[in-house]
Amino acid sequence: MSLSSTIDAITNPSECIMERRVGHVDDVKIGEMKEVMVGETPVLLMRLDGGYRALGARCPHYGARLVDGLLHDGRITCPWHHACFDALTGDLIEPPAIDALAKYGVRISGDDVLVDVPDAPESRRTLPATFARLRASDDVIAIVGAGAAGYMAAQTIRECGDQRPIVMITSEDRPPYDRPNLSKDYLNGHADPAWMPLRPSEFFEQNGIELLQGVAVDRLDVAGRAIELSDGRSIAYAAALIASGCQPRRLDVPGSDLDRVLTLRSFRDADAIIAEAQENHRVVVIGAGFIAMEAASSLAARGMKVTVVAPDAVPFERTLGQTLGELLQSEHERNGVDFRLGRSVACIEGRRDRLVVLDDGERLPCDLVVVGIGVAPATGFARELKLDRNGGIIVDAMLRAAEAVYAAGDIAAFPDPRGTGQIRVEHWRTAMQLGRVAGFNIAGRERRFDGIPFFWTQQFDATIRYVGHAPSWEEVVLRGDVAERRFIAYYVNDGRVHAAATMGRDRDAIAIAEQIRRSGFPTLDAVPQ
């Protein structure tokens, strides 16, 4: 009988446990994992050196089948967005998942492997609500920002058992939410607003995390260990995390301050664009980076007529190289998006309709303009800290910026564990990775950041996953078939792979990240071909 076969369940009424035979003891080799069904519950069955383990089979992030990922060094890595879990316990190791995997009983009876699942199985394990009786304390942990890094730090602090009060400060009017979806499923209409929060409001109440919404930070007083707020209040802190993220760069041309000239960074920005998209049908997107191109894809999927204007010769050429840039451009063109590349905007005109005037005199009539020309660190209040030339906060490997002050997320310039110097990465998963390490350190669990940057982009039917960090490269080495959309692009310096972009080879993307994590930059003959 194969491992995926099942037989009638044996139910233990007293414990409401359903036990089911899922295969023969030799059906799975050591180091392998299989997905089996226990009733209607998918279970990830693994055979490790210490025996069998049974965990939830779906990633708690977006529901990917973990059996399609990678089991390596005691870690399970999700094939879609590289969340990592402990193979023994199911505990969360690395985001973007924020929950652990459900854990099920497994035992050997003779030659049979038996798995038991509760009658009402859980799909994940979240933090227990053990902080309702939080002790009174003046040792406040202040977190500036309620994005990826700030949220992940708060959760990690609580996972460590640190019961000091946490205050999260955000200028937005809502609790932490899934920012990557603003330019993807939320903007194209496939994600309901109720699906976007990372946690329900009760989670923050139960775990002693106070959210100060709709208030900005005016100044970080490092010497006085205080944060001065825009409403006149001041918060004294025992430890502070700066995770304020970035703010969109503004277009500096005449007419850029007209209405219906919008940027996309926040939930409110996305709602404003959606409202205009429901009333209008022509949009000019300025910029050819990830946010701009994802917005173009989403708005075209809504049926809008989209024109992209950018000075680049090819979209993403400086990030992904010419070949992949041309691939994504062709995907957009196949879906009706027009391009004006190698061009810049001279001005924006119009009273009712908008008119985008290009540097060569071409005039593009439209109803809406979306500007996506990059972001800058939101660190104007933190001038007492050491900043890099772009405004990022310089931190050490523990993410310390000063005594009792840490920084994480898009604004953190941290030392590359692979020895290339200080780097700053503006991506959601990296921000969450940094926030998790900062949370451990604030809670007294000393951790050095050694994560591998990873991001993904989805534009129409094209999904690219990128691992590593290569702001520049000497050559791009392609393996596989770009036309068939099954390939790896390696970004190489001195004969060594610093990063890779993949399409249709999700498990290889994980394997490359693991190679970089274990041993630094591999040679081309050591990576998947």
What is the percent of the chain where pLDDT is above 70?
A: 95
Q: How far apart are CA 308 and CA 404, in angstroms?
A: 45
In a domain, 417, yes or no: yes
Domain end marker among 391, 412, 442: 442
d(CA 96, CA 387): 27
Is residue 150 located within the same domain as residue 238? yes
How far lies 73's CA from each of 499, 503, 511, 517, in Å? Answer: 21, 25, 11, 11
- Spatial separation of the C-alpha atoms in residues 59 and 429, rounded to whole Å: 15
Q: Do residues 31 and 118 share a domain?
A: yes
Do 120 and 18 share a structural domain?
Answer: yes
Residue 454 lies in a domain: no
Low-confidence ranges of the chain (pLDDT < 50): 1-15, 129-130, 132
DSSP secondary structure letter of residue 256 = T
Does 386 lie in the same domain as 359? no
Cβ-count burial of 393 within 10 angstroms (0-12 exposed, 13-18 middle, 19+ buried)?
A: buried
| Single-letter residue type at 197 | P
Q: Does residue 448 fall inside a structural domain? A: no
Q: Are residues 203 and 155 in the same domain?
A: yes
CB atoms < 10 A from the CB of 377, how many? 25
Split into its structural domains, the chain has a count of 4
Confidence at residue 137, expressed as pLDDT on a 0 to 100 scale? 67
Distance CA 128, CA 123 (A): 15
CATH assignment at residue 520: 3.30.390.30
pLDDT at 408: 98
* Domain end (from 316, 351, 371): 371
What pLDDT does 16 receive? 60
In this structure, is residue 83 part of a structural domain? Answer: yes
Distance from chain centroid for Cα 208? 25
Q: In this structure, are 186 and 212 located in the same domain?
A: yes
Same domain, 272 and 355: yes
Residues 279, 230 share a domain: no
Would you state the pLDDT for residue 485? 96
Task: Name every residue whose Cβ is closer than 8 Å to that of residue 55 and which is 6 or more positions away in sequence.
Answer: 43, 44, 46, 66, 76, 85, 87, 90, 101, 102, 103, 104
Report pLDDT for 214.
96
242 plus 385 within the same structural domain: yes
Q: Say if 4 falls within a structural domain.
A: no
- Evaluate whether residue 66 is within a structural domain: yes
Helix (H, G, I), strand (E, B) or coil at 437: helix
Which domain does 366 fall in, by range?
A: 261-371
Do 335 and 387 have their domain in common?
no
Show Cβ contacts of residue 201 under 8 Å, excluding neighbours closer than 6 positions.
175
The answer as to whether 133 is a domain residue is no
Q: Is residue 132 a part of any domain in this protein? A: no
The CATH number of the domain holding residue 119 is 2.102.10.10
Last residue of a domain, one of 125, 154, 171: 125
Question: What are phi and psi for residue 514, nearest 5 degrees?
Answer: -65, -40
Please give the pLDDT value at position 519. Answer: 85
The percent helix, strand, coil of the chain (3-state, each to 5) is: 20, 35, 45
pLDDT of residue 294: 97
86 with 187, same domain?
no
The CATH number of whichever domain residue 416 belongs to comes to: 3.50.50.60
State phi, psi for 226 to the nearest 5 degrees: -145, 155
Question: CA 32 to CA 47: how far, in whole Å?
Answer: 6
Same structural domain for residues 150 and 224? yes
CB-count exposure of residue 186 (10 Å: 0-12, 13-18, 19+): buried
